[in-house]
Structure 1
Amino acid sequence: MNSADRRAAHAAQLASPSYRLAALDEDFLLGPSMRGVRFLLEFAKVDEALRDWGVRSTIVVFGSARVREHGPGRQAAWYAAARAFGALASERGGAFLEGGGTRDNVIATGGGPGLMEAANRGAFDVGAPNIGFNITLPHEEEPNPYTTPALTFRFHYFAMRKMHLAMRANALVVFPGGFGTLDELFEILNLRQTDKAPRIPVVLFDEAYWRSVINFEALVEAGMIGRQDLGLFRFADSPEDAWAELLKGGLSVGEPVEGAAQDVRDSCVRGG
């Protein structure tokens, strides 16, 4: 029997899904029994990339995807502030690779538009690497154009995305937002309250907005939280104030890189 005849005789076996190499069998890898493996893959791929880039810690910025640079009401001011903060934190926090081979306080967001885009854009403006942890959703927009391409990730599982957002966070800055922002904020506050996460500083930007959305005192008065729990977060109303509050809360920083951040902040104020 020649080679062609042998292959013809084995055609059914060769075409069977069971004969595929497991690592190349998409049907198998995407099946329910491999969910744990997919979790591991989503963890390992991102972890390896961040290690390769020397990312030791991040400053996570949350905020609404619906805010626009020239949007109505306070939207434009929020966008400008998030952009200015991204620049400021990148220059002062240690995002640029130093002699030790590690980057600290790298701006990390959910990778989408709006205030996430603004924070990534600020880091981009000063030439700093920054991270986008995107998630696949039915109506999800594409990644914003300011995240570092090699640090632009996409997740299927919210749980693994949240883990990567939290596990390297040196600080959390939360700009105005809706359900998604509230979800991320309260998850971090819960982890801090229960000592399941390090005591990182948490800053809520625009005190008037947050106090109008959440009646923190009512939670205390009803006995749902202790008064000491109000110390888990701070408020700020400008990028400089946000940075100062992070430092008061114990944020550790690398050597600052002076220069471009002030230009970026000035440009944001002018609408540039």
Structure 2
Amino acid sequence: MFTYGAAFVAPALRQFRERSQKNTNDHKIYALNGRKHVTSNDTPFCSALTPHPCEHCFPSHNAADLPSYRLAALDQDFILGDSMRGVRFMLEYEKVEEALREWGVLSTIVVFGSARVREAQPGRRGAWYDEARKFGRLASERGGALTRNGGKRMNVIATGGGPGIMEAANRGAHDVCAPSIGFNITLPREQVPNPYTTPELTFRFHYFAIRKMHLAMRASALVVFPGGFGTLDEMFEILTLRQTGKAPKVPIILFDRDYWQSAINLDVFAENGMIDSEDRDLFSYADSAEALWATLIDQGLSPAIAG
């Protein structure tokens, strides 16, 4: 029986040794040539007794140098990837929210208008700049941005943080040493915040949606000076929220009746049934900084009590 067993096992043992030697030779050739594939005779798993030339057994890099080892919060490729867009939305929202809470900003008066207007321009443009600056000053003095009422600041001037009308409104607040907010946006052309926003309340956004949310969500009033596409976009965003009941009934005042009635004939919308007749009551007009403030008070703006 032993003789029979030896006769049967010996050829199998010899075959095993030959195969093992071939695998060892294959591994040596792999190591020398740096091949990155396994041969047809390699087994699909690694063994401590019979090593095989698979990449995960012979890493070409230190694990600590690979992206997989980076802390997720510090991995820019990961954070800026498509799958993390929702996280970036949240971060962009919360960063601004935290700063506004720290400053006690409870409500804002949002001022929209053209970035192309400059101080001392001839005609109506220069007048628009001057009135926006006056309004920023009046609203800051009378609205509660200068005083802290129960730890809160009321009716703080907020703009898109750019030049033109936005600069003028921030500048008016700056004239009376009141804080004001600049919600800047990253654009293809270089854009920097105007020098009159409060530095700690000057923010830069990547997403228009999150920027618009912060402009709208704590607004106690909206003042719209003459502007172009960007101003129209922001104005109609708020009007739509008001019309659909998604935003509280805050005053919306368009500055310079002649400009707006010549630029947009809203009566045509109502006459053709595109909006209800009462939708025209969602906004009103004013032609001076003092008239703006008076209209806001008439329509329910609550100025803070000084003290």
- TM-score, length-scaled by structure 2: 0.79
Q: Give the structure 2 partner of residue 243 of structure 1.
A: 293
Of 145, 151, 169 in structure 2, the residue corresponding to residue 119 of structure 1 is 169
- In the TM superposition, structure 1's runs of 4+ consecutive aligned residues that sit over 6 Å from their partners are none
Q: Deviations over 1:166-191 (max 9, x none)?
A: 00000000000000000000110010
1:172–1:201 Cα contact (<8 Å) kept: yes
Return the letter of the residue paired with 1:234: S
Q: Give the structure 1 partner of residue 283 of structure 2.
A: 233
Q: Give the structure 2 partner of residue 158 of structure 1.
A: 208
CA distance in 1 between partners of 2:131 and 2:149 (Å)? 31
TM-superposed CA distance for 1:70, in Å, is: 1.8
Q: Give the structure 2 partner of residue 26 of structure 1.
A: 76
Return the letter of the residue paired with 1:69: E
SS state at 1:60 partner:
strand
Of 67, 84, 92 in structure 2, the residue corresponding to residue 42 of structure 1 is 92
CA distance in 1 between partners of 2:147 and 2:65 (Å)? 50
Return the letter of the residue paired with 1:225: I
Q: Give the structure 2 partner of residue 94 of structure 1.
A: 144
What RMSD in Å do the two structures reach over aligned CA positions? 1.3
SS state at 2:254 partner:
strand
Unaligned 5+ segments in structure 2 are 1-58
CA distance in 1 between partners of 2:306 and 2:292 (Å)? 17
Change (3 A) 1:216 1:99: closer
TM-superposed CA distance for 1:72, in Å, is: 3.0
Return the letter of the residue paired with 1:155: F
1:54–1:97 Cα contact (<8 Å) kept: no
TM-superposed CA distance for 1:256, in Å, is: 5.0
Matches within 5 A, 1:163-242: 163-242=213-292
CA distance in 1 between partners of 2:211 and 2:149 (Å)? 30
Unaligned 5+ segments in structure 1 are 1-8, 258-272
2:149–2:304 Cα contact (<8 Å) kept: no
CA distance in 2 between partners of 1:256 and 1:92 (Å)? 8
CA distance in 1 between partners of 2:114 and 2:264 (Å)? 16
Q: Give the structure 2 partner of residue 57 of structure 1.
A: 107
CA distance in 1 between partners of 2:92 and 2:192 (Å)? 19
2:149–2:305 Cα contact (<8 Å) kept: no
Q: Give the structure 2 partner of residue 77 of structure 1.
A: 127
- Percent identical: 69
Q: Deviations over 1:81-128 (max 9, x none)?
A: 000000000010011232410001000000000000000000000000
Q: Give the structure 2 partner of residue 132 of structure 1.
A: 182
Return the letter of the residue paired with 2:203: F
Larger radius of gyration: 2
1:91–1:256 Cα contact (<8 Å) kept: no
1:60–1:172 Cα contact (<8 Å) kept: yes
TM-superposed CA distance for 1:129, in Å, is: 0.4
2:147–2:306 Cα contact (<8 Å) kept: no
1:67 aligns with 2:117: yes
CA distance in 2 between partners of 1:144 and 1:18 (Å)? 41
- TM-score, length-scaled by structure 1: 0.89
